[in-house]
Structure 1
Amino acid sequence: MNPVFNMDGATLSPVALFLQADWVVKFVMAGLLLASIWTWALIIAFWRRIGRTRKAMARFERDFWKAEDIDVFYKAEGENDLPSARVFAAGVTEWRRSTAGGTIDKNGTRERLATSMGAATAGEIDKLSDRLNILATVGSVAPFVGLFGTVWGIMRSFTSIASAQNSSLAVVAPGIAEALFATAIGLFAAIPAVIAYNRFSHGINRIEAALNRFADGFHTTLSRQLDGSR
């Protein structure tokens, strides 16, 4: 470590702090920077995905409730790659299987319809939530990784004091600056991850609620048809 530490703007720049840091602190900083980049990539991907999904689901459900014939609508939209379309397809598939025979078990059909659409809803939510746990992991782990860099930098400062037998700012400041910079990078990675995780979890919960409402409404429609059948 360089015992001379000029406290000017250039020396205190992020690049300079990284270059003069110990290899352990460099490793911590690099890992946190990569985690931050990964976090922002996930944030952008989730933001676009959830936004597109909600708009497409609203359009699909609007068209569904306007449709006069379920079979015709199924032929047109049944293969659509949307959560609501998959729930709809699961309901239609179970309906056709349960009503294919001569005698229809109405109560059993209702239960199977609810189960199949509920399973489809759960599966779609699992797909939407994929990799969301990464944001939670970064948000909870990054501050502690940064804290490790902080502790290591402070340990280097005390070692420098013991080696130089001098407690002046020129000896202590480099390790302290590196330590604080590692902490800052950890917070820079963790704070957006926590905010995004909470926000996207709320968005996914809203999509799940919309899917459940759609499934309940479709289940009610099919139940009316069961009441009119023999």
Structure 2
Amino acid sequence: MLHRKPSPVRRPPGGPGPGGAVRLALQLLFLRLAGPRALPPAVRQVLLTLRAHRFEAFAVGGGVRDTLLGLRPVDWDVATSAEPRYVMSVFPRTLPIGLRHGTVRVICPDGTEVDVTTYRREGPYSDGRRPDHVTFTGSLEDDLSRRDFTVNALALSLSGKVTDPYGGLCDLVRGVVRTVGPPEDRFSEDALRMMRAVRLAGQLGFSLDPATARAIRKDARLLGRVSVERIRDEFERCLVL
């Protein structure tokens, strides 16, 4: 994650629909033409360094989503085939903030911090918050399969190519928040995702996918397993929309 001071939320101009499809097509064209220049310098340098050491590396998540919507991303994350020990060996300044789950924070020369996470599959979520264990994998698609919503399961390469195995681009055009895979599975892993779905829909001016909305109504009781502190923090994020 690239850490930047949050700016006021700006919804995509004009919302979803035919106009949104045209804007998204133009944004995809821009990314291919701009290549590495479409990325913030710190993210670009992290990707270039990992690629120079023969590892795969992609920008992923909300930063890619917001870029495609024509917004200025607040956060950027990087996913890579490099395991944490290799990430720590190729960058001079790092913090092992989540080695158990494959995450290393890279501190760039300009002071920017970028979170780099190894491709992984996840085990069960016994505590309703984090997986009990993860398995590192060499597959970007495996890594994207563990993400919460399709619009967050997008990866952007240095060349500007977008990888979209779960229909996130289509959902951006439709203006829909939809889970990756069955919503009941995603919400049983972490019930707070139900609140995140509602917040993301409000933030972007999107609607909830019908199956996702039904699962939220059916599984709302699962929020009782979530700590008061996490619910409070998510609720406060909803209030600033």
- Which structure features the higher share of strand residues? 2
Q: In which range does the TM-score fall when normalised by the shorter chain?
A: under 0.3
Normalised to the residue count of structure 2, the TM-score between the two structures is: 0.20
Normalised to the residue count of structure 1, the TM-score between the two structures is: 0.21
- Which structure features the higher share of helix residues? 1
Bigger RCO of structures 1 and 2 (CA < 8 A, at least 6 apart): 1
Greater gyration radius: 1
